[in-house]
Amino acid sequence: MKKTQKTVFGLLLILYVPFLYAQSDIQKGRVNMQGEILESACTIDVNSLDQTIDMGNIPASSIRNNNENNTKEFEIKLIDCRWGTETQNNLQSIDISFTGLSENNYFLLDGEAQGIYLELISSTGNKILPGKTIAFEHDFSREALAKYRFKLLADGQPLKPGSFHAIVHFNISYK
C-alpha cells in the first residue's frame, strides 16, 4: 500500500510542478475600449450598394448622333431614414458624389471600345461632374430614392467598336 501511495504522490507532484511553472509565467495586459453610439440617418438599400448596369449593344451611329437609346437609368435607394423630431441627429440634407476615372468632367471607360466617354445625369436633367458633391434629390420620408442615368457620348476621337466597362463609386454624406 505504501508503494501505491508513493506512486500516486509522485504522479501528483509531476503534474503539479508544470502547473506551478506555468502559473509563474503568466503575463497580464489590459484592453481599453471606447466608442460612441450614433443615430443613423439612413441605410443604403442592399440592391443599391453594388449595381451592374448593362448598356447593351449600342450601334456606333447612335453614339455619333447622340441618340437617347445609349442611355441607361439606375437608382439609389436609402431606407430606414430618421429625420427631425423622431431622432436626435438633426439632419437637414443628404449629399452624394460620384467618383471614378475621369477626364474633362466625364467618366472614362476601359476596354476595347474607344472614342467614347460616360456622362452621368440626375433625374432633373443636370449633368453630374465626377467628384462634385450634389444634393440627393428626394423627399424627407422613411425612404429616399434618387434616379440617375448614364449616357455614352462620343469624345471627339475616332470611334472604335468593342466591349467596355467602368467603375463608378458613390459616397453619401449627411448634413
Task: Name the least confident of 87-96, 126-135, 140-149.
Answer: 87-96
- pLDDT category at 102 given cuts 50, 70, 90 is very high
SS3 for the chain, per residue? CHHHHHHHHHHHHHHHHHHHHHHHCCCCCCCCCCCCCCCCCCEECHHHHCCCCCCCCCCHHHHHCCCHHHEEEEEEEEECCCCHHHCCCCCCCEEEEEECCEECCEECCEECCECEEEEEEECCCCEECCCCCEECCCCCCCCEEEEEEEEEEECCCCCECCCEECCCEEEEEEC
Q: Determine the straight-line distance between the first and last CA of the chain, rounded to whole angstroms.
A: 84
In single-letter form, the type of residue at position 95 comes to D
Ramachandran angles phi, psi of 63, nearest 5°? -70, -45
Query: What is the tens place of the pLDDT at every residue in 81-97?
Result: 776 665 666 667 789 99
Query: What is the tens place of the pLDDT at every residue in 37-46?
Result: 666 678 889 9
